[in-house]
Structure 1
């Protein structure tokens, strides 16, 4: 409690800064209003015309706050809920809980990197090193028109420094008290019509707990060619490799030694190795001042090998070999017409294939083989019409999905079993959007929005397993409607934005694991999520203060399991608060204190077996720039040594403690 009082006292002191020292920088108003956002339309759009509560994490934010990964940067955004270990988390927004893997889209340069099936593997979001990120755009809710299935919670778009428009490079290095080491080198050059950008990062990660470590490498090279004044083309290739191990969860009797790996005799650390290759080609052509073409073609391959050999002291062999391949083609055309009206036409083609082979030795030896494909064709239209101080936006999207499911299961032992299933089917879905935006002053606007979207099933969800036999089910796409009211303005010298929203989902998809490794997939019925998001930013002379608040309420309205109707959805904190204080001591030194409060939440939809504890976590950073080219920094994570958990098992019996207080130091030199 004392540490919480200390934090609150510091915040009060900052917010009560003397009026004599108050200085509001008018330039910041223009910067915030004209800050460009790409993710809401696919083209550059100023915050002034964005009808979302967008949070933009810039390269400057990443550098000054010394974020180590994408998930590290997202943890400070109140509208984002990090579920699980920050190294390999689920990114949740607007109360999706563990279903966020299929209802929050993670994009890299506008291309989704979500895996086809996340029932056995999580989408690896930390493959791009923060040194190679230009900015991260976080958009809670919406996106169905531009991005299709799975945007009920929102989107996170990681925009890299690919291409190039500069000459120069950088080297950086960092160490921490857990023994981790990281080094990065980058270089960019522009010669005549050619621009090149190269980045290499080596990360020897060591976590708080014994056995929590990884050895990763990242390389990205991009080449940009300016064909003429109207058109250019960019080719980007990246490769990420990571060999990692992680410890087991701890039972209550082992929590007195939270750094331990939790292994019993005969157990082994969890092995999780990832290789990801990505090739992207982007072509841009400005036919005229009023007509722009943006075309992206891409190929992604993600290979994940997981080995999980333990069973309460009995040595077993459990592994999964997972390959996700995705190829796509996404042209968009923006046409301006009349008096500042514009129309965006787009087509998306994506073919996503997953092969997953696995073995599980527990009560018997079981082998699984999966070959799953989902091929989608989508067309969309987004139209914007300004009339005086009003702007009206209408959008529609049609998606056609072609599924091919091939699964087999073989069990050896005293009662051998072998079952296979092949299924081909198609689904069609529609999304709609209506938005009204009123720009009532030079700085302020209010908007109302209604969106109907969908999440179509994965191929693996179209099949159940009962009594050791695969059978087809009649699963449908889940559909949702979101109503939202939001605003942005400068109020009392503070930039403020916020939104209230209500989302109701019909036929939400659920998976229930049964005895003897059986499972069923079914449509829940109906759920409701509603909440509030607020963000503010003030400037007090040398002090910048940023605050954020997110309220999320959830309810299961109708379910196959009547006992959970009326309950909250698990893994969703009701309240999250963020306050960041950035103080410029002098032109060479600044100090940043960032504090996040998260309320407790239930571990399962039954709302039983305990809750995750509420927590307040603070991080302190000191930056020193002796020259324009050199930055030296140090910091303390979890400043007040808060005790909380990255995750707790749904039965409340196993805990994964979050990192205790730690220190880090590093430098970055630009040349």
Structure 2
């Protein structure tokens, strides 16, 4: 039924998009009208040759999103959770690479995790009520943002970024098994100072019995304007999230118990007594959703004369997250940025310097058997410490000549990786790695009309190894013991190409992009020496290509949006990989030629809004995710361990909002109207495959008050 709806809507909207006109109404618009101006001078430099996706606060409220992940997965070209817990995949990075090939920022500050094993996390670090907008740069931004941008950049702007509105707000939302409440107060002691603060509380039941998540978020900010055009802002926030959920479950368990499934009890070892016996606690085998994040941020923006502007940022973050009892990843980030921009005549210049230090540490105990006392156990502390220091400088220049816009940029970066790992059975190692990288961009745009332009861009990007990849487990030939040593693998280098077209076609404002990127030294982890060693090597070459298309129309009381993405890619061995296989033939993988693992080839998002009057809006959104491969090795396709195809699914959401008075509004909606069952993640095949179940149908209602 959902496929029929999809085809019908596509046919209807395509007809409207190309040639539909209501009566004598001719749609109007310009390229600028479809773009929301960013708050960041760095992101502004990409505007002529990049289609930046913007999710506004209004979009968030009207569509009833409950998290950053929910908002992102309803965009074309973005998938959340298909490649693992909390992973965000843009432009088909696929299994094992989505986490490394993305940059996530909150108010311009990087929060991308250093390591995603053994503990995963997501990027729902700010309650959705406290977000002003989310900006997504698909596949680009290496000059401005450094490593890991071949997939894209996501910048989450909170309501504390600029503190420019003197508003007191209250919001409440209810849904079966959950609620959300938020409130903020703003005051202005004098003409130069603004102060705001607030609190958000939320809780919701998840799909299975006794699964839930909830939390508290506190925030405050002070903005001081010493003179016209300049501002100094201090911001602080605290997030405390808890919950329990079922991360992966065998398909046969779903078929047997459905939503009533509860994990069986298991023994959790919490210590060893003085006699060498394990101290055991019985717990149900839930994963936990615990996270604490403290953020402190300072921004100073000021004009320097007639043509120059300056932006200085300083920040520190600390916190922890956990999936399992007694295992908690502690992390902290500190750093600063300086950006100088000059806008004079036909030239725009942007110069930047950045320095950040990220650290992460995981500590827990192992309980090996005492070799001298059979049946007795010892406590063996394990710890894994990671530290990444980044120092970079970049320069971008934009020249506008008549209808032509030429952009050039270069970035130089030095990275210091440090690790100190103490694993089980004496496996340990401590070392550092110093790495240099260069990113570059060259792009050209031609605006042939007020509502039409074309562009072409090239970007040289790179991705550095993560905390797992930076070290190898090797066998010491003298002692025959395994130890950690720094990997000799090189950073991945990507060449990215993109062509774009923006135009008004009939009733539609259209954006279209074709992209292609390649790397000839992709990283992979391989087992060698009969499985006694695990190393990171540059053995692969990967190609990714795709199409992104969106259409928008406004006709009378109706608004429509149609978005479509196509992504395809392939991986094979490079020359170093073929040489490696001659020595290690058992390590060969027959890489599938039909696409990358866990990358849907097609995704469609359709939206419609009907406004019967100036106060009411009725929205509908249909999201279709195409079939994707759940296997890596072509020759093992279909077996229980490797997996097969994960079939397509479509989900329809509806919502409504009504502005009762200028100061308050009510809203409500139904998600997954047809209660479609689908999987957000799947590993393996058959009844013993493991899955993460998608959200079922639910309804919600809420109210927002602004004074």
Partner secondary structure for residue 423 of structure 2: strand
Partner secondary structure for residue 59 of structure 2: helix
Give the 4+ runs in structure 1 shifted more than 6 A.
Answer: 14-18, 361-366, 513-518
| Number of the residue aligned with 2:447 | 439
Alpha-carbon offset, residue 176 of structure 1? 1.5
User: 1:11, 1:624 → 2: CA distance?
Assistant: 28
Partner secondary structure for residue 98 of structure 2: helix
TM-score, structure 1 length as denominator? 0.91
User: 2:200, 2:531 → 1: CA distance?
Assistant: 44
User: 2:193, 2:693 → 1: CA distance?
Assistant: 49
Kept in 1: contact 2:104–2:154 (CA 8 A): yes
Kept in 2: contact 1:127–1:218 (CA 8 A): no
Equivalent residue for 2:676, pick from 626, 642, 664: 642
**After alignment, is 502-511 or 352-361 more displaced?**
352-361
Kept in 2: contact 1:243–1:273 (CA 8 A): yes
**1:77-476 map, 5 Å:** 77-84=75-82, 89-98=86-95, 99-162=97-160, 163-177=162-176, 179-190=177-188, 191-256=190-255, 257-261=257-261, 263-266=263-266, 267-307=284-324, 319-337=326-344, 339-359=345-365, 367-410=381-424, 417-466=425-474, 469-472=482-485, 473-476=487-490
Partner secondary structure for residue 223 of structure 2: strand
Partner secondary structure for residue 217 of structure 2: strand
Q: How many residues align?
A: 647
User: 1:85, 1:211 → 2: CA distance?
Assistant: 25
Kept in 1: contact 2:31–2:451 (CA 8 A): no
How much is the aligned-residue C-alpha RMSD, in angstroms?
A: 2.5
Alpha-carbon offset, residue 479 of structure 1? 0.7
Residue deviations 1:496-549 (CA, integer Å, cap 9, x gap): 112101100132222357999974322232111110111111011111000111
Partner secondary structure for residue 625 of structure 1: strand
Pick closer, same or farther for the CA change 1:53–1:30 going to 2, 3 Å.
closer
Pick closer, same or farther for the CA change 1:11–1:435 going to 2, 3 Å.
closer
User: 1:400, 1:330 → 2: CA distance?
Assistant: 15
Alpha-carbon offset, residue 379 of structure 1? 0.7
Residue deviations 1:358-393 (CA, integer Å, cap 9, x gap): 345699986531222111110111011112211111
Pick closer, same or farther for the CA change 1:242–1:85 going to 2, 3 Å.
farther
User: 1:658, 1:276 → 2: CA distance?
Assistant: 27
Alpha-carbon offset, residue 21 of structure 1? 4.9
Alpha-carbon offset, residue 220 of structure 1? 1.5
Query: Which 5+ residue runs of structure 2 have no aligned equivalent?
Result: 267-283, 370-376, 476-480, 578-586, 638-642
| Number of the residue aligned with 1:594 | 621
User: 2:218, 2:531 → 1: CA distance?
Assistant: 43
Alpha-carbon offset, residue 188 of structure 1? 2.4
2:62 is aligned with 1:36: no
Equivalent residue for 1:604, pick from 625, 631, 644: 631
Pick closer, same or farther for the CA change 1:68–1:546 going to 2, 3 Å.
same
| Number of the residue aligned with 2:582 | none
Kept in 2: contact 1:21–1:540 (CA 8 A): no
Pick closer, same or farther for the CA change 1:358–1:340 going to 2, 3 Å.
same
Pick closer, same or farther for the CA change 1:518–1:187 going to 2, 3 Å.
farther
Pick closer, same or farther for the CA change 1:33–1:7 going to 2, 3 Å.
closer
Residue deviations 1:422-481 (CA, integer Å, cap 9, x gap): 112211111111001111112211111110010112344222235772232312111100
Alpha-carbon offset, residue 655 of structure 1? 1.7
Pick closer, same or farther for the CA change 1:197–1:233 going to 2, 3 Å.
same
Alpha-carbon offset, residue 650 of structure 1? 4.5
Residue deviations 1:64-118 (CA, integer Å, cap 9, x gap): 11111111111121111112599x6211101112322111111111111111222
Partner secondary structure for residue 641 of structure 1: coil
| Number of the residue aligned with 2:271 | none
2:517 is aligned with 1:503: yes
Residue deviations 1:290-344 (CA, integer Å, cap 9, x gap): 1011111111113123326xxxxxxxxxx4221111111110111234x320111
| Number of the residue aligned with 2:650 | 616
Equivalent residue for 2:555, pick from 540, 546, 549: 540
Query: Which 5+ residue runs of structure 1 have no aligned equivalent?
Result: 309-318, 411-416
Partner secondary structure for residue 474 of structure 1: coil
Kept in 2: contact 1:24–1:539 (CA 8 A): no
| Number of the residue aligned with 2:494 | 480
2:591 is aligned with 1:565: yes
Residue deviations 1:380-434 (CA, integer Å, cap 9, x gap): 1101111221111111111111122211123xxxxxx313211122111111110
User: 2:14, 2:567 → 1: CA distance?
Assistant: 26
Pick closer, same or farther for the CA change 1:512–1:31 going to 2, 3 Å.
same
2:530 is aligned with 1:523: no
Kept in 2: contact 1:211–1:269 (CA 8 A): no
Pick closer, same or farther for the CA change 1:597–1:504 going to 2, 3 Å.
same
**After alignment, is 12-21 or 589-598 more displaced?**
12-21
| Number of the residue aligned with 1:578 | 605
**After alignment, is 648-657 or 423-432 more displaced?**
648-657
User: 1:658, 1:93 → 2: CA distance?
Assistant: 20
- Larger RCO of the pair (alpha carbons < 8 Å, separation 6+): 2
User: 1:438, 1:396 → 2: CA distance?
Assistant: 22
Partner secondary structure for residue 589 of structure 2: helix
Alpha-carbon offset, residue 131 of structure 1? 1.7
Kept in 2: contact 1:508–1:523 (CA 8 A): yes
Alpha-carbon offset, residue 239 of structure 1? 0.9
User: 1:30, 1:446 → 2: CA distance?
Assistant: 11
Pick closer, same or farther for the CA change 1:399–1:591 going to 2, 3 Å.
same
Residue deviations 1:585-629 (CA, integer Å, cap 9, x gap): 222222111001111112232253122220011101021222222
Kept in 1: contact 2:524–2:540 (CA 8 A): no
**After alignment, is 235-244 or 358-367 more displaced?**
358-367
Kept in 1: contact 2:240–2:292 (CA 8 A): yes
Kept in 2: contact 1:142–1:152 (CA 8 A): yes
Kept in 1: contact 2:621–2:654 (CA 8 A): yes
**After alignment, is 106-115 or 506-515 more displaced?**
506-515
Partner secondary structure for residue 144 of structure 2: helix
Partner secondary structure for residue 640 of structure 1: coil
Alpha-carbon offset, residue 647 of structure 1? 1.0
Kept in 1: contact 2:399–2:405 (CA 8 A): yes
| Number of the residue aligned with 1:69 | 67
Partner secondary structure for residue 599 of structure 2: coil
Pick closer, same or farther for the CA change 1:34–1:52 going to 2, 3 Å.
closer
**After alignment, is 74-83 or 159-168 more displaced?**
159-168
